[in-house]
């Protein structure tokens, strides 16, 4: 049932240390490790979640585990398995309810199923853990496992949840009531933001921000040659010269019949406004599309003075709305509907507007290629938008900020936590108001100096608060505190 996952991450601290901007971060982590790791006295830290692939937790785990191991912690990672078909639909329901979405009622039958699957996994893991070990359970799926093991083993347990809503609702209360008997047995809980902590856990909750790996394929620096190569390999740039690397087996696809087939998007030449996200209504793609149309119409109406550089910039600007190929994500039926309604709105636009807007699906078969495409598209962008109506954190914003992009976020809680309005980027108050979004796009496109200042501030902020090194150090401090 329970399965241990082996981690092999090729890049270690010595490599990160060689980069001038990261040297101090690695040094700070090493110093914390020298101080704190001996105090663990050989205890094993177990990280447990529900999947080794897909989703932010699985994405973060290999680097987190490998860095903990590298600084001397005996850290192992495992995932729970289920042979009951109804288990993951149940935990998905709980997940949605913690985000405030309706998930029906949770009854005694659900509880029995939840405990049964957790119980089997707990028996497997129970034979591997030793007294004194530290068990970190990520998200609600394996939550009962920690509570069960705690009963019969002398271990320290930590519940780390990556989800939450900034205010309580009857729905979130119901989900927390279901989880409470397990959650309250834990020695500590870790949330992404203070606002997500339910009152009954307040006394033993801390916060650790999600973080990014600056050298992952999604975030690492790309030389112009590499960047152009990725765009060509992915089918996002017409190939006019021999390219070192072969075309990706699965290509990015521009949807709709609007784009002139002879013309590529011009990612390398034009001012580009981008949003890369999942096709989810809450990501606010549709109002963003309308805002971009409004911007172009302002130009056509003469509301933006023709002849100057800014008018020319808006004339040339293109909008790229990108997200994963929905056929590759079975558990997200909503993605098809969101994408369909977006392409329907797009099809109703004039040919000129359609030419200036690209709705692109990105292949998901290779995580590396997908990450490189996201990286390349973000690096070609003059403005990166994350127009979320709600956002738990918004790693897309972190990734954009790290690349020193001018970022346009919203007042959604997760984005507000990251982007200081007017300093690291701009925030739209009402992400459903195309006029307000258009005003912000206009302001950012008009002022290159402002974009540069905000991009620099944004990168500094991610550097200070959201890199994986400080996350590892935060874990070490928490282990020590316990």
x/- string (CB under 6 A) for ligand UDP, residues 394-413?
A: xxx--x--------------
Stretch that binds ligand UDP, among 38-46, 254-262, 272-280, 457-465 (CB under 6 A): 272-280
- Residues in region 192-251 near ligand UDP by CB under 6 A: 218
Cβ contact 437:428 at 8 Å = yes
Q: Which is nearer to ligand UDP, 122 or 412 (CB)?
A: 412
Q: How far is the CB of 396 from ligand UDP (least distance, A)?
A: 4
* Count of C-beta atoms within a 10 Å radius of residue 297: 12
Would you count residue 278 as binding ligand UDP (CB under 6 A)?
A: yes
Q: How far is the CB of 233 from ligand UDP (least distance, A)?
A: 16
Q: Which is nearer to ligand UDP, 186 or 279 (CB)?
A: 279
Q: How far is the CB of 162 from ligand UDP (least distance, A)?
A: 9
By three-state DSSP, how is residue 406 classified? Answer: strand
* Count of C-beta atoms within a 10 Å radius of residue 147: 21
Total residues at interface with ligand UDP (CB under 6 A): 16
Stretch that binds ligand UDP, among 72-80, 127-135, 387-395, 473-481 (CB under 6 A): 387-395
What span, in angstroms and rounded, lies between the C-alpha atoms of 281 and 389?
8
Would you count residue 326 as binding ligand UDP (CB under 6 A)?
A: no
By three-state DSSP, how is residue 438 classified? Answer: helix
Q: Which is nearer to ligand UDP, 56 or 132 (CB)?
A: 56
What span, in angstroms and rounded, lies between the C-alpha atoms of 412 and 476?
30
Shortest CA distance to 478 belongs to which of 77, 130, 208, 162? 208
Would you count residue 285 as binding ligand UDP (CB under 6 A)?
A: no
Q: How far is the CB of 310 from ligand UDP (least distance, A)?
A: 30
Dihedral angle sign, alpha carbons of residues 106, 107, 111, 113: negative
Output DSSP code: residue 43.
Answer: P
Dihedral angle sign, alpha carbons of residues 466, 467, 468, 469: negative
x/- string (CB under 6 A) for ligand UDP, residues 286-325?
A: -------------------------------------xx-
Stretch that binds ligand UDP, among 172-180, 335-343, 370-378, 473-481 (CB under 6 A): 370-378
Q: How far is the CB of 161 from ligand UDP (least distance, A)?
A: 13
By three-state DSSP, how is residue 323 classified? Answer: strand
Would you count residue 279 as binding ligand UDP (CB under 6 A)?
A: no
- Residues in region 43-82 near ligand UDP by CB under 6 A: 56
Stretch that binds ligand UDP, among 78-86, 178-186, 270-278, 454-462 (CB under 6 A): 270-278
The CA-atom distances, in angstroms, between 13 and each of 17, 67, 213, 366 are 6, 8, 12, 26
Stretch that binds ligand UDP, among 171-179, 252-260, 393-401, 470-478 (CB under 6 A): 393-401
Structure tokens at 300: 């056509």
What span, in angstroms and rounded, lies between the C-alpha atoms of 234 and 236?
6
Would you count residue 164 as binding ligand UDP (CB under 6 A)?
A: no
Q: Is 257 left (phi over 0), alpha (psi -120 to 50) or beta?
A: alpha
What span, in angstroms and rounded, lies between the C-alpha atoms of 373 and 54?
17
Stretch that binds ligand UDP, among 140-148, 179-187, 275-283, 310-318 (CB under 6 A): 275-283
Shortest CA distance to 68 belongs to which of 16, 12, 21? 12
What span, in angstroms and rounded, lies between the C-alpha atoms of 356 and 340?
19
Question: Can you give the binding site for ligand UDP, defined by CB under 6 A?
Answer: 56, 218, 276-278, 323-324, 362, 370-371, 374, 393-396, 399
């Amino acid at each position: 049932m329970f399965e241990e996952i082996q981690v092999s991450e090729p890049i270690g601290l010595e490599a990160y240390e060689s980069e001038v901007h990261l040297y101090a971060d690695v040094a700070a982590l090493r110093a914390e490790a020298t101080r704190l790791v001996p105090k663990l006295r050989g205890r094993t830290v177990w990280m447990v979640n529900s999947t080794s692939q897909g989703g932010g937790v699985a994405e973060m785990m290999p680097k987190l585990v490998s860095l903990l191991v590298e600084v001397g912690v005996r850290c192992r990672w495992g995932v729970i398995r289920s042979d009951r078909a109804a288990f993951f639909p149940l935990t998905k329901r709980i997940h949605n309810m913690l985000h405030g979405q309706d998930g029906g009622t949770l009854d005694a039958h659900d509880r029995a199923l939840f405990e049964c699957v957790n119980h089997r996994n707990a028996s497997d893991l129970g034979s591997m853990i030793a007294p004194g070990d530290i068990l970190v359970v990520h998200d609600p799926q394996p939550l009962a496992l920690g509570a069960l093991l705690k009963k019969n083993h002398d271990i320290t347990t930590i519940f780390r949840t990556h989800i939450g809503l900034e205010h309580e609702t009857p729905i979130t209360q119901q989900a927390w009531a279901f989880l409470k008997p397990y959650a309250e047995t834990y020695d500590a809980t870790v949330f992404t933001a203070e606002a997500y902590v339910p009152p009954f856990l307040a006394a033993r909750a801390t916060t650790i921000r999600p973080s990014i790996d600056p050298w992952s394929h999604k975030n690492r620096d790309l030389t112009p040659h590499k960047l152009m190569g990725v765009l060509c390999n992915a089918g996002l740039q017409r190939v006019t010269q021999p390219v070192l690397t072969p075309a990706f087996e699965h290509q990015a696809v521009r949807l709709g019949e609007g784009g002139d087939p002879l013309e590529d998007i011009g990612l390398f030449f034009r001012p580009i406004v981008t949003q890369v996200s999942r096709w989810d209504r809450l990501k606010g793609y549709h109002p963003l599309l309308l805002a971009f149309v409004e911007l172009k119409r302002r130009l056509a109406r003469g509301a933006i003075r023709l002849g100057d550089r800014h008018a020319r910039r808006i004339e040339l600007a293109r909008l790229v709305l990108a997200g994963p190929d929905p056929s590759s994500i079975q558990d997200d039926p909503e993605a098809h509907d969101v994408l369909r309604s977006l392409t329907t709105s797009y099809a109703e636009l004039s040919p000129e507007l359609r030419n200036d807007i690209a709705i692109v699906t990105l292949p998901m078969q290779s995580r590396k290629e997908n990450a490189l495409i996201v990286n390349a598209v973000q690096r070609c962008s003059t403005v990166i938008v994350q127009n979320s109506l709600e956002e738990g954190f918004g790693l897309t914003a972190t990734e954009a900020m790290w690349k020193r992009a001018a970022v346009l976020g919203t007042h959604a809680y997760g984005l507000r936590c990251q982007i200081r309005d007017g300093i690291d980027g701009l925030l739209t108050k009402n992400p459903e108001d195309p006029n307000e979004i258009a005003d912000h796009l206009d302001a950012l496109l008009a002022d290159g100096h402002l974009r540069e200042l905000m991009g620099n501030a944004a990168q500094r902020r991610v550097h200070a608060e959201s890199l994986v090194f400080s996350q590892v150090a935060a874990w070490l401090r928490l282990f020590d505190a316990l």
